[in-house]
């Protein structure tokens, strides 16, 4: 299993992982790379930044478990999950998930699956800073509905 | 606590790790070398007689990590999957901070490799600069962080926030051991702000029932602020594994309460 997970303060390297994942191998036919960014509007219209908190240890393990579950469900060649913590400004990358496979469908679906479970299971919490004040972001029912889609499939 | 590298007769003995489960292990160590401000300026300008000091020290640290087992008698030789060194020039303190991260999937920890990498990188910095400065000091070589393996996560306590969320620096650590059977209870994110503290210790004999529900009841009796733990949305993990009201609690458990997650 080629799964790598990182929870880090530092911004991501480079634009995406497709070059790194394809390096020195020719069995990969598709790399799907998702990047989540900080928006300047969310629960309030004037978000100036956010601070991400996590639970060291459990967070990394949960991301690894999600990666392994994706590995079981699809035929994958590599999985990378990078999630940032600490302070971030609008436009900054928060999360990057990359899935590599021989054919595109596996990579697309695995990437989608990993994001759905990351958002509903991995212990991260967002606090948004807005001109009107700071507040903790509320969980969203749509995120749980998205994760529910995968139950029973495969 | 027993020293793992000594046998029952007090003799040195290599630990048999063959039966241990392979896990992803990572260790970060740090150290610094203090030098004259003039030396540091030469180092930054690349004007030292032996050339690019940092690049050389980085390679030295990586090589050293890979050869730790040749230097430290009872260390296993490990197939490291990653070694990375960071150098931070600190003009204010006139020193170079060195940090090494080692990682592998394996049966034994990598802190010796990280500590060796830092030590040898510092020695290399000394060697590269000694022509102009003999007063340099190598200091504070220490383990910062270790994860993977049976004993969980080690995190050195510092002022830097490990877990952020409010203006005050907070962190999650394994903390001190208590003598009486007890559990450490942590409150994360929004919940930490609502209950007004990040962690507390509860003795097991304070609990009517040794399960999560019993712990909630005991805490609520202690302070009304903890009544919020009874809300359905509040989640619980024991030793970093999700739990529910009926999950049993035992001595030295780490119990964490937190709101639904909102990452990604």
pLDDT digits (tens, 9 = 90+) for B154-197: 887 754 434 433 333 334 444 444 467 899 999 999 999 999 88
Our CA-based measurement puts residue A56 at a distance from the nearest CA of chain B, in whole angstroms, of 7
User: Could you tell me if B259 lies within 8 Å of chain A, comparing CB atoms?
Assistant: yes
Q: Do residues A51 and A100 lie in contact, with contact meaning Cβ atoms separated by under 8 Å?
A: no
B264 belongs to a structural domain:
no
State the pLDDT at residue A141: 87
In this predicted structure, the answer to whether residue B113 has a pLDDT above a threshold of 80 is yes
Last residue of one domain, picked from the residues B148, B173, B208: B148
Question: A124-130 and B82-90: which strand pairing?
Answer: unpaired
Identify the band that residue A152 occupies on the pLDDT scale cut at 50, 70 and 90: low
Residue B46 confidence (pLDDT) above 70: yes
pLDDT of residue B176: 44
Alpha carbon of B164: minimum distance to chain A alpha carbons (Å): 5
Please tell me whether residues B199 and B131 are part of one structural domain: no
Confidence (pLDDT) at B177? 44
Domain boundary among B148, B164, B198: B148
Mean pLDDT in residue range B1-17: 76
Residue B234, in any domain of the structure = yes
Considering only CB atoms, B147 lies closest to which of A60, A121, A139, namely A60
Q: Which of A56, A82, A86, A143 to mutate to test the interface with B (most CBs of B within 10 A)?
A: A56
Question: What class has domain A3-147?
Answer: alpha beta
Distance CA B145, CA B76 (A): 20
Q: Searching chain A, which residue's CA lies closest to the CA of residue B194?
A: A136
CATH number of the domain residue B75 falls in: 3.30.70.640
Is the Cα torsion angle B170, B172, B178, B183 positive or negative in sign?
positive
* B127 shares a domain with B223: no
Alpha-carbon torsion angle B38, B41, B47, B53, nearest 10: 110
Number of inter-chain CB pairs under 8 A, A vs B? 96
Question: Within this chain, do residues B189 and B117 fall inside the same structural domain, yes or no?
Answer: no
Average pLDDT over residues B79-88: 90
Q: What is the DSSP string of A59-78?
A: HHHHHHHHHHHHHHHS--SE
**Cα A57 from chain centroid?**
17
Residue A41 backbone phi and psi in degrees, to 5: -140, 140
Mean pLDDT for all residues in chain B:
85
The per-residue b/e assignment along A108-120, b for 16 or more CB within 10 angstroms, e otherwise, is bbbbbbbbbbbbb
Nearest residue of B to residue A120, measured between CA atoms: B261
d(CA A154, CA B171): 40
Cα torsion at A39, A43, A47, A49 (round to 10°)? Answer: -70
Q: Is B90 a catalytic residue?
A: no
Catalytic residue among B88, B127, B179, B205: B127
With contacts defined as CB-CB under 8 Å, which chain A residues touch B147?
Answer: 56-57, 60
Contact of B234 with chain A, judged by CB distance below 8 Å, is answered with no
Give CA–CA dist B73/B183, Å, rounded: 37
pLDDT in tens, A68-90: 999 999 999 999 999 999 999 99
Structural domain includes residue B163: no
Q: Which residue in chain A has the smallest CA separation from B81?
A: A4
Q: Which neighbouring-strand residues pair with B187?
A: B257
Total domains present in chain B? 2
pLDDT in tens, A97-133: 999 999 999 999 999 999 999 999 999 999 999 988 8
Q: Say how far residue A154 (Cα) sits from the centre of its chain.
A: 22
Above 90 in pLDDT, residue B99? Answer: yes
On whether any CB of chain A is under 8 Å from the CB of B21, the answer is no
B237 and A55 within 8 Å at the Cβ level: the answer is yes
CA-nearest residue to A121 within chain B is B261
**End-of-domain residue from the set B102, B124, B148:** B148
Q: Residue B160: inside a domain, yes or no? A: no
Domain check: are B87 and B136 in the same one?
Answer: yes
Alpha-carbon distance of A121 to A119, in angstroms, equals 6
Residue A145 in tokens: 């509905």
Structural domain boundaries, residue B222: 182-258
Q: What is the pLDDT of residue B165?
A: 37
Contact: A55, B240; criterion CB under 8 Å = yes
Q: Do A95 and B263 touch (CB under 8 A)?
A: yes
Q: Are residues B36 and B140 in the same domain?
A: yes
Contact (CB, 8 A) for B85 and B100: yes
Cβ within 8 Å, pair A95-B259: no
Q: What pLDDT score was predicted for residue B101? A: 94
Tokens of B185: 């209870």
**Interval B130-146 mean pLDDT:** 92
Q: Are residues B82 and B35 in the same domain?
A: yes
Give the pLDDT of residue B2.
65
Q: Show Cβ contacts of residue B170 under 8 Å, excluding neighbours closer than 6 positions.
A: B161, B162, B163, B164, B192, B198
CATH number of the domain enclosing B231: 3.10.20.30
Contact B262/A at CB under 8 A: yes
Cα of B26 vs its chain's centroid, Å: 9
Say if B14 falls within a structural domain.
Answer: no
Backbone angles phi, psi at B52, to 5 degrees: -70, 100
pTM for the model: 0.58
* A36, A124 Cβ separation under 8 angstroms: no
Which residue of chain B has the CA closest to A97?
B264
Q: Is B198 left (phi over 0), alpha (psi -120 to 50) or beta?
A: alpha
Q: State residue B145's pLDDT score.
A: 87
Q: Is residue B144 part of a domain?
A: yes
B151 — pLDDT class (breaks 50, 70, 90): confident
Say whether both B140 and B188 belong to one domain.
no
Residue boundaries of the structural domains of chain A: 3-147
Q: pLDDT tens across A3-29, in order?
A: 999 999 999 877 788 888 888 889 999
Tell me the ipTM for this assembly. 0.91
Cα of B260 to nearest chain A Cα, Å: 6
* pLDDT for B42 beyond 50: yes
Q: Is residue B221 assigned to a domain?
A: yes
Quickly state the pLDDT bin for B13 (edges 50, 70, 90). Answer: confident
Question: What is the spatial distance between Cα B74 and Cα B109, in angstroms, rounded to a whole number?
Answer: 13
B142 and B43 share one domain: yes
Confirm or reject contact between B124 and chain A (CB < 8 A).
no
Q: What is the mean pLDDT of residues B88-117?
A: 91
Q: Are residues B27 and B144 in the same domain?
A: yes
């Amino acid at each position: 299993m080629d799964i790598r997970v990182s929870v880090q303060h530092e911004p991501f390297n480079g634009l995406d992982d497709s070059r790194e994942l394809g390096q020195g191998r020719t069995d990969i036919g598709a790399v799907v790379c998702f990047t989540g960014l900080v928006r300047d509007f969310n629960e309030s219209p004037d978000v100036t930044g956010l601070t991400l908190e996590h639970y060291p240890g459990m967070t990394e393990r949960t991301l690894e478990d999600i990666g392994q579950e994706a590995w079981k469900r699809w035929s994958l060649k590599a999985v990378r999950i990078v999630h940032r913590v600490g302070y971030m400004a609008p436009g900054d990358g928060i999360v990057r998930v990359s899935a590599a496979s021989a054919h595109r469908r596996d990579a697309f679906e695995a990437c989608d699956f990993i994001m759905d479970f990351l958002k509903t299971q991995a212990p991260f919490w967002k606090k948004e800073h807005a001109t009107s004040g700071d507040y903790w972001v509320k969980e969203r029912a749509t995120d749980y509905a998205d994760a529910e889609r995968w139950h029973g499939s495969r | 606590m027993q020293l793992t590298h000594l046998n029952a007769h007090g003799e040195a003995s290599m630990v048999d790790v063959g039966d241990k489960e392979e896990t992803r292990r990572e260790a970060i160590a740090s150290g610094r070398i203090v030098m004259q401000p003039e030396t540091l300026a030469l180092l930054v300008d690349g004007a030292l007689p032996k050339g690019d000091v940092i690049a050389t020290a980085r390679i030295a640290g990586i090589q050293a990590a890979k050869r730790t087992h040749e230097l430290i008698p009872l260390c296993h030789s490990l197939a490291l999957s990653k070694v990375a060194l960071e150098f931070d020039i600190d003009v204010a303190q006139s020193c170079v901070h060195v940090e090494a991260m080692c990682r592998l999937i394996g049966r034994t920890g990598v802190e010796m490799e990280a500590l060796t990498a830092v030590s040898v990188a510092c020695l290399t910095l000394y060697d590269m600069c000694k022509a102009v400065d003999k007063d340099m000091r190598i200091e504070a070589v220490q383990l910062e962080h270790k994860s993977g393996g049976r004993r969980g996560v080690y995190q050195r306590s510092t002022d830097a926030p490990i877990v952020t969320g409010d203006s005050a620096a907070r962190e999650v650590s394994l903390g001190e051991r208590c003598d009486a059977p007890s559990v450490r209870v942590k409150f994360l994110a929004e919940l930490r702000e609502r209950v007004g503290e990040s962690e507390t210790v509860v003795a097991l004999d304070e609990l009517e029932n040794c399960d999560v529900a019993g712990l909630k009841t005991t805490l609520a009796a202690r302070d009304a602020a903890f009544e919020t733990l009874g809300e359905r949305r509040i989640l619980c993990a024991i030793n970093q594994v999700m739990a529910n009201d009926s999950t049993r609690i035992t001595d030295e458990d780490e119990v964490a309460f937190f709101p639904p997650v909102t990452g990604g």
